[in-house]
Amino acid sequence: MEVKEWTYEEIPEFTDIPEGAGVIETTGDEMGVMYMHDVEYANVNGTPLHLQVLVPICRNSGFDPFGEQTFDPLPCYVYVQGSGWFEQYVYANVVQLAQVAKRGYVCAIVQYRHSGIASFPAQACDARNAVRFLRKNCKRFGIDPDRMVIAGDSSGGHTAMWAGMLHNDDSEQNLFPGISAEVSGIVDYYGSTSVMAPDSNPIQVLHCLPDSPEGRVMGGRNLLEEPELAKQLSVECNIDEETKLPPVLIFHGTKDRTVNCTGSAILYKRLKETGHPVSFYLIKGADHGGPEFWTEQVIDIVDEFMRKVFA
């Protein structure tokens, strides 16, 4: 065989099959995932912020990690990793999100400024800038800029909700002027969306005190003494009929010891009574996260939700 720069179409297929060797048929549509780690999307006051990007690939897709993409762009699932608003371990759900990526979604895990360096709503501002970065660089990652959803778990669920509500495109927080941060839907996995009830965090004895997660993300303030700050942080207190919000999908475990399931029920009821499209699924017996949230059944629901909001 001649040595040259062969194209895939030109190179002759090996057919001299040794006796006893097996041959496995393929279609070229077998799906895998390429992991592009620690992609910097912003640097805020000296703090670099990164994305973990998962791109579905197959032989027929022609994805080129080193150049602009020429295949049909894919919808994007932007995921905010939870952490109690503390520093995130952004790699926690890489493997789980690969299952979503295999359904044909580019998945990007967002790192935000944690509560030790920035107060709320910095986390939501960061998530919106991540959406803008991905939209601006859509050809690099093979993303359809018109089909983007934001999601998150725990404090990331709270951040995802606020990222869908904030609408700060004209503010100085927008690091990519002229690029929209709007999304078609929000997926909230057991989000810490409310701190209004005393048992909103069942095992958190410092509820709303300055050293609590919610106190620290509000600048080390005592939310019991400043209830308006608690309302400012709590998603349901900031939603009315006029709130601009895309459709919402909520999951929560019925035995969550970290974030009371009641908070998601309150958010669900508030969204319904204010006329916003919302679906709520209780994961029976599930605690705060875990494999129960990444079953085929749950991913099917997420997949169906995204196909609906993109239609």
Query: What is residue 141's predicted lDDT score, i.e. its pLDDT?
Result: 93
Query: What is residue 8's predicted lDDT score, i.e. its pLDDT?
Result: 85
Q: In this structure, which long-range contacts are made by residues 216-224, counting pairs with CB atoms below 8 Å and at least 24 apart in sequence? A: 216/85, 216/86, 216/115, 216/116, 217/85, 217/115, 217/119, 217/120, 217/123, 217/155, 218/119, 218/120, 219/119, 223/195
> Residue 84 has what DSSP assignment?
T
Beta strands 185-189; 248-253: pairing state: parallel
pLDDT tens digits in sequence order for the chain, 311 residues long = 889 998 888 999 999 999 999 999 999 899 999 999 999 999 999 999 999 999 998 888 766 666 655 668 999 999 999 999 999 999 999 999 999 999 999 999 999 999 999 999 999 999 999 999 999 999 999 999 999 999 999 999 999 999 999 999 889 999 999 999 999 999 999 999 999 999 999 999 999 999 999 999 999 999 999 999 999 999 999 999 999 999 999 999 999 999 999 999 999 999 999 999 999 999 999 999 999 999 999 999 999 999 999 99
The encoded tokens of residue 218 equal 């509000």
* Structural domains present in the chain: 32-310 (3.40.50.1820)
Q: Model-level pTM?
A: 0.94
Query: What is residue 187's predicted lDDT score, i.e. its pLDDT?
Result: 98
Q: What is the DSSP string of 144-169?
A: EEEEEEEEEETHHHHHHHHHHH---T
Query: What is residue 69's predicted lDDT score, i.e. its pLDDT?
Result: 59
Query: What is residue 63's predicted lDDT score, i.e. its pLDDT?
Result: 65
Distance from C-alpha of 77 to C-alpha of 143, rounded to nearest angstrom: 10
Amino acid at 311: A
Angle of the 155-165 helix axis to the 122-136 helix axis, nearest 10: 70
